[in-house]
Chain A
Amino acid sequence: MLAIIPGANCAGCDYSLLDLGEKAVEVLMAVDIAYWPTAADLKLEDLEKLPDGSVDIVLFEGAVNNDETEEMAKLARRKAKNLVAFGACACFGGIPGLANVASRDGVLQKAYVKTLSTLNPNGVLPSKLTRLGDEELTIPEFLDTVKSLNQVVNVDYYLPGCPPPLKLVADALAAALSGKLPPKGTVFGSMKSVCDECKRVREGKRIMEIKRYHQFIPDPDRCLLEQGIICMGPATRGGCDAVCPTMNVPCRGCMGPTPESQDQGARMLSALSSVVGLEVEAGLGDEEVRKIIEQIKDPLGTFYRYSLPRSILRRVWGARE
């Protein structure tokens, strides 16, 4: 039996399942669907009624960002024989995890009051309970800190990516169907970095300037990082066949940190420090070096785009909006 349970997700992970094409049909023929709100007309009660531990594979999509997704995560764990964090958000917090740059109130203010396109003169914010005459309406309540799935419950397998690469999805499903799942804790992905899968040529060149795409047309065969474009390849786990740099787009890090690193940002920070400036900077003063470093405008948002909740520091602290 298979269940696909959404948390704070965008349903992009569902697409990667449907993109399997004929393979998806094979899988769907081979298993019973216990729950999959995107595609199957089953109710939550149907899932709740099943005995605990009876669903062979549960794919949990999305981060945990409110009390409802937290409950869904716990339900997923209860029902699952094998719980898979499916996609970057479930694995590391992903894009919804970037809400950790602000407090819950800051996020709500921004989304419901301060954005230019919002008209909300009374400053109404979503609240857990709303009364409308005799009716009581409840909606989920946001957490102050967004979490990855394994910060809420134990997770058996990880399948990162935004969305997860088809090949990895197919491999994981095939392993599950044939009863040949790898040891618990396995991350479906490569043990190497995206750079190891990237065909672009690295020449060991240094960069004195950080560049962006609108400023020049990068050489299609050379490493993007060595041309001054921030590419997360060195800090990111492979398994996606480096699709983005292959298509002329820098890697954004959606496969999460490389296996040996605890913190994707720290790894990227080291990698960048090795590429910018010169190997031996005897002739460069602090100010000249700082000038190059200053061109990296948003290290936090760039280095932790998909993994802020799973970083060592987890969120922005202190006075925050």
Chain B
Amino acid sequence: MGEVFEPNIVVFACNWCSYAGMDLAGTSRIQYPSNLKVIRVMCSGRINPVFILEAFASGADGVLVTGCHPGDCHYISGNYKTRKRVMLLEKLLEQFGIEKGRLRLEWVSASEGERFASIAREFVEQIRKLGPNRISEELRKEVALV
């Protein structure tokens, strides 16, 4: 048996709820896997679909988008827009050959440190099962040919 596959996961977190939730997980010393690379944005509505496509193109095995619970977005409607974007992206990514399950949306509030940690653990396991995202490697070969 080879080594265990350690997935590379990009997390987008809105400043007001989800990032604070992750912080709480940290300050409460709740353990969660170190596979996550967190990118803080002001609101989940700031997450341009380009960021997600770029993440997959540059080697992310999974992307976790987080934001405030419906009704709690500090900019009122950012998370509603995010929900639609992610649903449409799921469809689009599947057409591109990126397996279902590599992109996930979760609402995490500032008080949900424990919940965030369990989502993180679960997502890492899910991506571990899916295995590496080979697209970025192939894409790089393709681009190198140019």
Q: Which residues of A contact B (CB under 8 A)?
A: 101, 145, 147, 151-152, 261-263, 265-266, 269-270, 272-274, 276-282, 286, 289-290, 293, 296, 298-300, 303, 311-320
Interchain CB contact under 8 A, A270 and B142: no
Interchain CB contact under 8 A, B50 and A278: no
The distance in angstroms between the C-alpha atoms of A273 and B71, with both chains bound, is 18
CB distance from A275 to the nearest CB of B (A): 9
Select from chain B the residue with minimum beta-carbon distance to A148. Answer: B146
Main secondary structure of the interface of B (DSSP, over half): helix
Interchain CB contact under 8 A, A276 and B84: yes
CB under 8 Å from chain A, chain B span 82-110: 83-85, 87-89, 91-92, 95-99
The distance in angstroms between the C-alpha atoms of A312 and B52, with both chains bound, is 10
Stretch at the interface among B1-9, B60-68, B73-81: B73-81
Interchain CB contact under 8 A, A318 and B80: no
CB distance from B43 to the nearest CB of A (A): 14
Known pairs A269-B92, A280-B80; A317 contacts B49 (CB<8 A): no
Q: CB-CB < 8 A to B92: which residues of A? A: 265, 269, 299-300, 303
Q: CB-CB < 8 A to B28: which residues of A? A: none
Select from chain A the residue with minimum beta-carbon distance to B58. Answer: A312
Select from chain A the residue with minimum beta-carbon distance to B71. Answer: A282
The distance in angstroms between the C-alpha atoms of A229 and B84, with both chains bound, is 17
Interchain CB contact under 8 A, A279 and B77: yes
Select from chain A the residue with minimum beta-carbon distance to B146. Answer: A151
B57 touches which one: A101, A152, A290, A313 (CB < 8 A)? A313
CB under 8 Å from chain A, chain B span 20-66: 48-50, 53-54, 56-57
B: contact size bracket: 20 to 34
A273 touches which one: B54, B56, B70, B81 (CB < 8 A)? B81
Q: CB-CB < 8 A to B48: which residues of A? A: 266, 270
Q: CB-CB < 8 A to B88: which residues of A? A: 269, 272-273, 293, 296, 299
Stretch at the interface among B11-19, B116-124, B131-139: B131-139
Known pairs A269-B89, A273-B81; A261 contacts B96 (CB<8 A): no
The distance in angstroms between the C-alpha atoms of A312 and B89, with both chains bound, is 13
Q: CB-CB < 8 A to B56: which residues of A? A: 313
Interchain CB contact under 8 A, B49 and A279: no
The distance in angstroms between the C-alpha atoms of A71 and B84, with both chains bound, is 44
Select from chain B the residue with minimum beta-carbon distance to A302. Answer: B92
Select from chain A the residue with minimum beta-carbon distance to B142. Answer: A145
Interchain CB contact under 8 A, B84 and A313: no
The distance in angstroms between the C-alpha atoms of A138 and B125, with both chains bound, is 52
Q: CB-CB < 8 A to B84: which residues of A? A: 272-273, 276-277, 289, 293
Q: CB-CB < 8 A to A265: which residues of B? A: 49, 92
The distance in angstroms between the C-alpha atoms of A229 and B122, with both chains bound, is 39
Select from chain A the residue with minimum beta-carbon distance to B99. Answer: A318
